[in-house]
Structure 1
Amino acid sequence: MQVQASTKARMGTSDFIDKEVAIKKGESIALVDTTSSTHIISNGTWQGNTAKPFIESGAPVVNNLNFAGNDSKNVGPFNTAGTFQLYCTIHPGMNLTVTVT
Structure 2
Amino acid sequence: MNTIAPPHDSLDTDPRWQAILTRDRAADGTFWYSVLTTGIYCRPSCASRLPRRENVRLHDSLASARASGCRACLRCRPDGEGADPEAGAVMAACRHLE
TM tier, smaller:
under 0.3
Greater strand content: 1
TM-score of the superposition, structure 1-length normalised?
0.26
User: Highest relative contact order (Cα 8 Å, sep 6+), 1 or 2?
Assistant: 1
Greater helix content: 2
Q: Which has the larger radius of gyration?
A: 2
